[in-house]
Structure 1
């Protein structure tokens, strides 16, 4: 974070339908808040990239195949997605700092259990617990950032850009760090790196970060929460198992049926309860609806493609963990640079134009990789590995800022929880769906994955064009 950025991070009065906070927010306090919340996001993102590097060795050491490895990835993502709304609601109810620190502690404890897991089942269960911790880290970190920035749009855009960039640093560090750790020690060591980072994050948050205001409600929406978990679990498990029993299996059809029933029941429950976990009235705002759909498309393609590339490079091309880490390094490095550029470009050109441009670039990147086969030179893959993160890195901070601008600051915890629930659900579906496509025919499946990804992102571009609305500003530049 440069001095110029710090000088520009200033407090503005609230225009979100609540009383302005008269207390000044010092530059030092804001910097520490960004650092502490970014550490939480770093753990979530680092875990994604490091685990992908270690998949081949985990499969060999614990004697599990593609289906088992899909569960190692999706057990984490599934619980993460299922509990984000609950975490966002809890953050708004008791204060984001308390929930954030609790998530940190749970994530660290689960990381220790992952590193000590003797069999696949224990690893998968520990990954579930990691996902629960991650579910608290992401929406609570955004709620704390949003509170720290008050309602100053420029400040919030830069803070979110820096927060996102920190996650990109973790993605960039993960492949190389994970490769060296797996090579020098074992796959277990990749989980132990979370312990010191988590300890620092907990201390900084509890010692320095300002608590967000509590938004009291009558009770938690237990029915909605259980239906959300059941629906996402059924859908993800069914997609994973298609690679074993096939798409026409009665069990697969039953699984999809259960998932559909749970989704319909969830919407009906949320429309009737007094304090819904998912406030359906949020979706009356076209910007909120558009950003959540774009987030779904981005994560479905991105998480699915990263999973496919990790298996392609290590199992088809026989890259070692270190080789894979180095080969994949351009992807997160470009993502980092693009995130940083997005925080500046968003304030200059607006969120919708930046999202549209980023999505179109990402779609072109997916298309560049649609002809991968077992003999494709790495040099031929490189343009796609550079173009995809360039587009995604431009689009995601703009998407997040647009969503936060569409809701009152007091509801930012649940709003960010909705966005990240949809995104992580998309990631789980992407891994399950794309994994099933390559399980039967790896070469043809890879081609289908990249063509489908390009098409999905083009559809997301259209949603952004017609759905995103610029926020209404006053003369001070606030909402």
Structure 2
């Protein structure tokens, strides 16, 4: 385990130091998922961007994040988590400077891709550092993952609030510059982290990475542009067919690769499979809904950016409280109880958004705004811990990459699908809220039956 850091005065706890340092990566990567949402109307006015360009600004990050994380997970196990962790933080910081200095929508989209590359390197490596540091003590590992997840959950919920404040005192460019001190702190602190064990690997799966990238990008692009071009456009159905072919080819390559970026033997575990599916459903519903809610609060209810940001305050509070409770529940009952409890609360929260209309008062939205993060905050740390418990510690980077890749890909899909439904003014946005809440509630509630069937107490 990592040795304590020697400082003047008190010696900081190794647990706090390791969790705190690795959490900085999760904080900055998740912050950039949600903080951009609240700035979309201002970015649109600044660049005269339409809703599809706004979707690309959001999804360029999540697509790059998703398509590269599988490779990053394997590289983390091959090259060492600490090295990849520092590279990710440096790349993310440089990309954030570029985003803040962007001169048109296309330059911003390009730098968002670079941010996604940095995030893809940071997340599996940070979780691998945690898993290897506390693999000898499952209780401490559960607590470490709970705190790590809590940091990310709070960040994604606090993003709109911080974004609203920054937009109030400055402009949208500041939401990217705020990442720089966090990245610098992470790089400096990571110097003291211990190098992790490396997994024996026979090479790098370039064909697998290439086909996976093409499959996911073509699929997301088709969904985003569907509203403008229509399904009968050859670009749309051609992209969907191309995506399906690339995905099948990807699976074929992974079956034969000496060192696949997606080791298919991981999916022999029913626990692993159901938890990955859970991550997909939760991210698709949450990311897509928050995207539409950001438009709803500002374009339908006519909140200012500051007021809209403050309206998301219950999400932050809900994540903080529930993530901490989740760690305690895991220590006492294992992963099954917090997952089932969280999914139940979350499905109720999404169903509560059905009341959202063109003139809904905020106090009626408060209940779903607090129950959605409460449910997810209980379930996600237990889900992550459950995934790590199914693999050897030397494959933790790969396992966490599979989970987070599927989650980020699902998040991009959620933004693309729900955003497409919201393309058309006030009526379309309200309709999108209604449809997304129904889809989300049904999807999450359906997970409960799978969890009860396949997940034992771990």
- TM-score bin, normalised by smaller chain: over 0.9
Deviations 1:185-216 (A, max 9, x none): 1100110011111101000001x111111113
The answer to whether residue 376 in structure 2 is matched with residue 392 in structure 1 is yes
Contact 1:243 / 1:435 at 8 angstroms: preserved in 2?
A: no
- Quote the offset at 1:170 in angstroms: 2.1
Contact 1:84 / 1:136 at 8 angstroms: preserved in 2?
A: yes
Contact 2:349 / 2:372 at 8 angstroms: preserved in 1?
A: yes
The answer to whether residue 229 in structure 2 is matched with residue 264 in structure 1 is no
Aligned to 2:454: 467
Aligned to 2:225: 241
The answer to whether residue 457 in structure 2 is matched with residue 457 in structure 1 is no
Aligned to 2:309: 325
Aligned to 1:176: 161
Aligned to 1:5: none
1:83-122 counterparts in 2 under 5 A? 83-122=68-107
Distance 2:190 2:449 in 1: 39
Q: Say which of 74, 83, 95 aligns to 2:59.
A: 74
Q: Say which of 186, 192, 204 aligns to 2:189.
A: 204
- Quote the offset at 1:442 in angstroms: 2.6
- Quote the offset at 1:137 in angstroms: 1.0
Aligned to 2:8: none
Aligned to 1:16: none
Contact 2:19 / 2:148 at 8 angstroms: preserved in 1?
A: yes
The answer to whether residue 372 in structure 2 is matched with residue 409 in structure 1 is no
Aligned to 1:17: none
Give the count of matched residue pairs. 449
Deviations 1:100-153 (A, max 9, x none): 000000000000000000000000000000000000111111000011112311
Task: Using structure 2 for the length normalisation, give the TM-score.
Answer: 0.95
The answer to whether residue 323 in structure 2 is matched with residue 360 in structure 1 is no
- Quote the offset at 1:80 in angstroms: 0.2
Question: After the TM superposition, which of the residue ranges 305-314 and 253-262 deviates more from structure 2?
Answer: 253-262
Aligned to 2:28: 43
Aligned to 1:33: 18
Where does the alignment leave 5 or more consecutive residues of structure 1 unmatched?
Answer: 1-10, 12-22, 472-479
Q: 1:247 to 1:448 in 2, by over 3 A?
A: farther
Deviations 1:272-311 (A, max 9, x none): 1111110000000111111100000000000000101001
Q: Say which of 79, 104, 121 aligns to 1:136.
A: 121
Distance 2:195 2:15 in 1: 13
Aligned to 1:438: 422
Contact 1:151 / 1:409 at 8 angstroms: preserved in 2?
A: no
Aligned to 1:289: 273
SS in 1 for 2:259: coil
Distance 2:401 2:4 in 1: 25
- Quote the offset at 1:468 in angstroms: 1.8
Distance 1:463 1:255 in 2: 32
Distance 2:136 2:386 in 1: 13
Q: 1:453 to 1:248 in 2, by over 3 A?
A: farther
Aligned to 2:358: 374
Question: After the TM superposition, which of the residue ranges 24-33 and 254-263 deviates more from structure 2?
Answer: 24-33
Task: Using structure 1 for the length normalisation, give the TM-score.
Answer: 0.91
SS in 2 for 1:369: helix
Aligned to 1:427: 411
Q: 1:396 to 1:128 in 2, by over 3 A?
A: same
1:216-231 counterparts in 2 under 5 A? 216-231=200-215
Aligned to 1:311: 295
Q: 1:53 to 1:283 in 2, by over 3 A?
A: same
Distance 2:154 2:268 in 1: 35
Aligned to 1:277: 261
- Quote the offset at 1:248 in angstroms: 4.0
Distance 1:77 1:270 in 2: 23
